[in-house]
Amino acid sequence: MTPRRRRPRGGALRLMIGLGILAAALAVQAAEPALYAQLRAFVFDTYQRQAPRPYVPPEPDMEDLSQPWGVRIVDIDEASIARFGQFPWPRPLMAALLDRLDYFGARVVALDIVFSEPDRTSPDAVLPVWSMLSDTAALDAPVSDLPDHDAVLGQQIDGRPVVVGLIGQGAVPDDARLPAVKWGFAFSGPDADSDPRRFVPAFPAALLNLPEIEAAAAGNGALNLIPSVDGVVRALPMFITVGDPPDHRIVPSLVAEAVRVSEGVSTYRMRLAGGAGERAFGAQTGIARIAIGAHEIPLSGDGQMRLYDSGRIDARWVSAADVLDGSVDPWTIANHIVFIGSSAAGLRDLRATPLDSAAAGVEVHAMLTEQILSGRFLVRPDWVGGAEAAFVAVAGAALLIILSRLGALAGAVVSVAMAGGAVAVSIAMFAGQGLLIDPIMPVVALAILWATVSLMGYRQSERERSQIRHAFTHFLAPSLVEQLADNPAALQLGGTTREISLLFADIRGFTSLSETLDPETLTQLINRFLSPMSDVILAERGTIDKFIGDCIMAFWNAPLDDADHARNALTAALKMRGALAGLNDALAAEAATAARRPIRLGIGIGLHAGPACVGNMGTARRFDYSAIGDTVNLAARLEGLSKLYGVDLVASEQIVDRAGGRATGAWLAVELDLIRAKGRREPVRAFTLLETAGAPTPAQTALADAVAAMLAAWRAGDWPATAHAIEDAAAAAERARETRLTGLLDLYGSRLLERAGQPVPEGWDGISDALSK
């Protein structure tokens, strides 16, 4: 036979595809497409929902006024509107509210409101309306003496620590102007041309307060909360730009301005990534952090501060009505940063946050201010992305090595351990340091890598097994070679029907074994298994039909007559047991010498006797001497059933009877079951063989009788008797020191559990149906 050309091994291809998967994972991680970013944000939201930022109630300390004691929200709520009228309130009423807060000692008041239009209740605005109703000449002089409401509010704000708000917007009005500057900037970057304005959200224009209000304020900050694509607010832009380049102006947020005024400083100190003390791996990726007085705040590259959500806390809120009538506890206002906003129906600026689907915008500002005062931040520095990519690369490479050397099962254990470790580290870093580390890419990348490479390895294993099966199929038994040499006329197609004994045997767990060995080692092992098995078969006058991978098919009484074919087949099966034990001992000794784990082979053997068609099968150019028919099929099925019954040998009643009966000087046949094979009407009684030394021992005979009693009780549908019989058989096996029937007794124990408490089915005969071929 001409040797077949070996196909190239698939290890290199698996390595290339594995590296391609890793490269794709790293590319996705670097590009951060929208879906990936949303999944990561969802994971971080889940962390916050499981462990929200704890709210620490403010504790007044008269000995330390250097820092605010806390943050409060003065709420223009339903009660306030019911008492003082619909909103917007007249500016004098807002001025009175500011006056009361100043009286109670508020450290800073930040208005989450924009007064962009004149007060409609001002005397100058009301007089034209009155003139349409009556003669108002008598009112002109008194009205002209009344102060303008907007001026009243401006005067109340002037000289006090009040921060007003503005809203960056896309539409540019005709009278557009830039926000009034109340602050200064000092920043460090990687070069002299560094400009933070190119990193922050940009707006062509802004909705501003009236000039007299804006000019009087101590601070002027943006109210913009920019949600993610799913509508959830997860961060606050600490800075925006207003206007068109190159004259656009950088504007801090309301939160930043509230903290700046509280700190009593005039300048923001800003560090860009790549600047002094900031790592950016050689790239200028944005704003790394800002300092406001004593507070240093980490930012994302686009100048946003991440929200560490605590959820709604009722203790933050104070009703504006209680402030105006003086009933509020002064300690809830004194030395606090106070935000004025509204929770009234129809007035709420509702925003979805990680913990609340409808949070008031003013509470988002308050929570972010609390984070700054307490130093509790959620951070994702520039170096985290590089560290995540390095972990994915190293873990993926390690998994590829493990898959190539130890197989899919070990790879699964390691990949689960590494992915679980990535998740555990992510959770621990969030809980301990507020550090956001992405657990998604390691889990997804390792799962895809393991599944793809393992599937490729399995397919390669199956191809190699098919190649081995194809190659061994072309070998002829020596007895057939001798017959063909004596009678060349036998080289013709066709066959004859004759009674033969058939044997099928294969290695248990071949697929799992093939995943752990390279093709050369696997082939050598298969050859070492097939060689002694073949020698035993040939020594007992058998004909090897074919090798199908790890499986041997052999038969007796063809092409040469063999009057004792059934006995020779059973004798060969028993000797194959001994040959396998010797092979396993040799493999164990070799493994001990090489200091590695030994390989232990198991076998399954099926035997049957009956009529079959034997002869040359194939075409005129290529054929094999083989056997076909129902007898062959049943022998193969009996071999497959050996695993179910937990034995290494299953023989039919026909071959046992033809071989001399159930008890001989070489064996004792123990019945396993009465089996109805698929496609056959009549059931087959199946046996396994216990080896005897001249004659069965009394203990062996007692064991066979105990098993027979168990089968009789089972077939009679007597479940209690079956249970007792199983116990008796187990005891008999222990006395006989026989372990080959343990799997059989376990099987009937499982069957009995399934039937326990159920009536005997109608027509019950205890026959087992073998549904698979």
Report, in angstroms and rounded to the nearest whole number, the Rg of the chain calculated over CA atoms. 44
Token pair for residue 282?
A: 């050689």
For 375-407, where are the alpha helices, taking DSSP H only? 382-406
**Cα gap 283→293, rounded to integer Å:** 28
CB 456 within 8 A of CB 10: yes
Residue 88: asked if its preceding bond is cis (omega within 30°), the reply is yes
Q: Cα separation of 485 and 465, whole Å? A: 32
Please identify which residue in the block is written with the tokens 């097939």. 530
Q: What is the pLDDT at residue 671?
A: 96
Which regions in the chain score pLDDT beneath 70?
Answer: 1-10, 124-145, 189-194, 274-285, 345-348, 461, 463-494, 619-623, 771-773
What would the two tokens of residue 608 be? 């049957």
646-705 pLDDT, tens digit each: 999 999 999 999 999 999 989 999 999 999 877 777 899 999 999 998 889 999 999 999
Reduce the secondary structure of 459-503 to three states and give it as a string: HHHHHHHHHHHHHHCCCCCHHHHHHHHHCHHHCCCEEEEEEEEEE
Q: Distance between the two ends of the chain, CA-based, in angstroms?
A: 32
Over residues 705-761, the pLDDT tens digits come to: 999 999 999 999 999 999 999 999 999 999 999 999 999 999 999 999 998 888 898
Query: What pLDDT does residue 545 have?
Result: 87
The answer to whether the CB of 90 falls within 8 A of the CB of 153 is no
d(CA 353, CA 364): 8
Cis peptide before 173 (omega within 30 of 0): no
- Count of C-beta atoms within a 10 Å radius of residue 447: 14
Asked if 185 and 247 count as a contact pair (C-beta separation under 8 A), the reply is: no
> Two tokens at 650?
């299953």
DSSP state of 591: H
Q: Give the pLDDT score at 141.
A: 53
Which tokens in the block code for residue 500? 């033969």
Q: What is the pLDDT of residue 262?
A: 95
Q: Helix or strand or coil: residue 93?
A: helix
At what angle are helices 11-31 and 440-472 packed, to 10 degrees? 160
DSSP state of 119: -
Burial-class residue 663 by CB neighbours within 10 Å (0-12, 13-18, 19+): middle
Cβ atoms of 503 and 537 closer than 8 Å: yes
**Sign for the pseudo-dihedral over CA of 540, 544, 548, 553:** negative
Q: Tens digits of per-residue pLDDT, 24-59?
A: 888 888 888 888 889 999 999 999 999 999 999 888
> What single string gives the DSSP state of each residue in 163-176?
EEEEEEES---TT-
Element (H, E) at 749: helix 742-755
DSSP, collapsed to helix, strand or coil, labels residue 603 as strand
Give the per-residue pLDDT at 124: 65
Sheet holding 202-203, edge to edge: 202-203, 239-242, 249-252
- Position 659 scores a pLDDT of 95
Both tokens of 170, joined, read: 């896309």
Q: How far apart are CA 10 and CA 514, in angstroms?
A: 14
Structure tokens that stand for 560 in this block: 């040469």
| pLDDT score for 439 | 92
Please report the pLDDT score of residue 313 as a whole number: 92
Q: Residues 315, 55: contact at Cβ < 8 Å?
A: yes
The residues facing 341 across adjacent strands are: 75
